[in-house]
Amino acid sequence: MIEQVKESFSKQGFMKTLGAQLISVKKGEAKIACHLNGTLTQQHGFFHAGVITSITDVACGYAALSTMPEGSDVLTVEFKTNFIRAAQTHHIIAKGHVIKTGKTLVFCEGIVTNDKQDIIFATMQATMICLNSNYRNET
């Protein structure tokens, strides 16, 4: 399943655009890191809320996928992000972990910190859905 996560991550064009790196994945948890540069900023030069949310969504999605049956695929049903403080930093790490895996849905939480992981920039609650290998558009 770890290999499947890495392969899926490599297919996400948008993760390349963000320069995002999958730094770890184990059953029920995934971490993604991102370095600041001028292509990722909001109007004050900090990490854009959209960047923060995007990598946290992906971290939650792969945390969820790592708990699903082999051959599954994952889609995001919904998420909510709280922006605790402006991300005035050069490096962020988003950790997603699974709260509960059901037959269909997986509940996840995400947290975004600096690289020392001692300052919280954002938190996420996310719901993921398990799709079988034959991709269905319908949820």
Within 81-120, the residues that bind its own copies by CB under 8 A are 81-86, 88, 99-100, 102-105, 107, 109, 120
Stretch that binds its own copies, among 22-30, 89-97, 121-129 (CB under 8 A): 121-129
Q: How far is the CB of 27 from its own copies (least distance, A)?
A: 18
Instruction: Pick from 2, 6, 16, 90 the residue near its own copies by CB under 8 A.
Output: 16
Three-state DSSP at 18 gives helix
Q: How far is the CB of 29 from its own copies (least distance, A)?
A: 17
Beta carbon nearer to its own copies, 24 or 89 = 89
Does residue 51 touch its own copies according to CB under 8 A? yes
Does residue 6 touch its own copies according to CB under 8 A? no
Q: How far is CA 43 from CA 38, 39, 103, 123, in A?
A: 11, 11, 42, 21
d(CA 4, CA 19): 20
Q: How far is the CB of 83 from its own copies (least distance, A)?
A: 5
Alpha carbon 27 to its chain centroid, in Å, reads 14
∠ CA 48-106-75, nearest 5°, is 55
CB proximity list for 135: less than 8 A, separation 6 or greater: 73
Beta carbon nearer to its own copies, 79 or 114 = 79
